[in-house]
């Protein structure tokens, strides 16, 4: 297949490199990392084995042309670029598969290009970009994919097979929306508290940062689970997310929280993506990861006081504000 990778940070580079190593015609659409990747390729350090690939590199989507599959790994804060970046890549049968965080990304793609060829994916993986063209894969890597507002089709299973052949564990979900909420059960507490915790426990529970207060070190996953107070907040946020999902009719199992905490304990001192963005002074993915879930919970009539306080504090801490 001819595959374009749009958004080549840690996530996009890792999965794009997997496909490239497997022999797919893989094109990376790059900005600041263009020269480094063009000259040296992409190196992946992984407990599953290090590897190095040389994908085809482009600065402009017009240099790539129509593709069979476009994988989108952009930060959701860059979704306003869809209309500029994607049209040169899209032919009549091009599939758009967004691997982005949170809710609403497939809806935005469908509004621009129609929903018939839009799919969504969720990545359960620990990754960090150490420098241009150098990706650290620490653990996990499973991808779950599904169709936007449809049951999976034969093409969905074909893409899953493509990913598995490239060494990526990949499953197909019958209900993409439910899968998104299941991932939010992890993303909201660990991404959110990792950043909000810099303002202190009281600020997180009250939803506001005291004027002039000093920020503490960011909270990695191991610190959140080793302190009883933070672990309790993690569990309370998870419970709110599960309650909201179930009020929306998505039937998320209550024991999912315990399963995700058990998996997180194997990650060590992992920095979630929102925490990495915060440390770099970049805009946080607030809309898709936190504000849209809060809005949907309220529309479903579910009380989510912990999530509401978390959202309020993250908006105060967002470097983009």
Rounded Cα gap, residues 164 and 228, in angstroms = 39
DSSP 267: S
CB atoms within 10 A of CB 76: 24
Burial of 208 (0-12, 13-18, 19+ CB in 10 A): middle
Single out the residue of 303, 3, 11 nearest to residue 168, CA to CA.
11
Question: What is the crossing angle of helices 292-299 and 305-317, to 10°?
Answer: 150
Beta-sheet pairing, 51-53 with 42-45: antiparallel
Tell me phi and psi for residue 296, to 5 degrees.
Answer: -65, -35
CB atoms within 10 A of CB 105: 23
DSSP 116: T
**Catalytic pick among 2, 75, 183, 271:** 183
Greatest alpha-carbon pair distance for the chain in Å reads 56
Cβ atoms of residues 15 and 164 within 8 Å = no
Is 183 annotated in the active site? yes
Cβ atoms of residues 135 and 42 within 8 Å = yes
* Residues acting as catalytic residues: 183
């Amino acid at each position: 297949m001819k595959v374009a990778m749009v958004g080549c940070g840690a996530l996009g580079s890792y999965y794009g490199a997997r496909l490239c190593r497997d022999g797919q015609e893989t094109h990376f659409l790059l900005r600041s990392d263009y020269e480094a990747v063009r000259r040296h390729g992409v190196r992946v350090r992984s407990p599953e084995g290090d590897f190095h690939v040389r994908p085809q590199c482009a600065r402009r989507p017009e240099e790539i042309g129509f593709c069979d599959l476009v994988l989108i790994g952009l930060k959701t804060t860059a979704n306003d670029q869809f209309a500029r970046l994607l049209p040169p890549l899209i032919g009549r049968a091009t599939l758009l598969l967004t691997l982005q965080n949170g809710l609403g990304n497939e809806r935005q793609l469908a509004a621009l290009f129609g929903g018939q060829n839009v799919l969504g994916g969720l990545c359960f993986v620990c990754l960090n970009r150490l420098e241009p063209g150098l990706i650290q894969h620490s653990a996990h890597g499973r991808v779950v994919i599904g169709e936007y507002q449809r049951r999976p089709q034969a093409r969905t299973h074909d893409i899953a097979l493509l990913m598995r052949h490239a060494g990526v564990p990949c499953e197909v979900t019958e209900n993409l929306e439910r899968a998104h909420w299941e991932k939010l059960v992890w993303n909201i507490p660990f991404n959110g508290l990792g950043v909000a915790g810099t303002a202190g426990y009281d600020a997180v529970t009250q939803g506001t940062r005291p004027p002039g207060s000093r920020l503490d070190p960011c909270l990695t996953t191991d610190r959140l689970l080793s302190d009883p107070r933070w672990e309790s907040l993690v569990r309370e946020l998870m419970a709110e997310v599960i309650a909201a999902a179930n009020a929306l009719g998505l039937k998320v199992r209550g024991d999912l929280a315990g399963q995700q905490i058990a998996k997180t304990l194997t990650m060590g001192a992992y920095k979630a993506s929102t925490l990495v963005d915060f440390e770099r002074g970049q805009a946080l993915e607030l809309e898709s990861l936190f504000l849209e879930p809060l809005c949907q919970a309220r529309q479903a009539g579910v009380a989510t006081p912990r999530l509401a306080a978390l959202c309020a504090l993250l908006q105060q801490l967002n470097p983009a504000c």
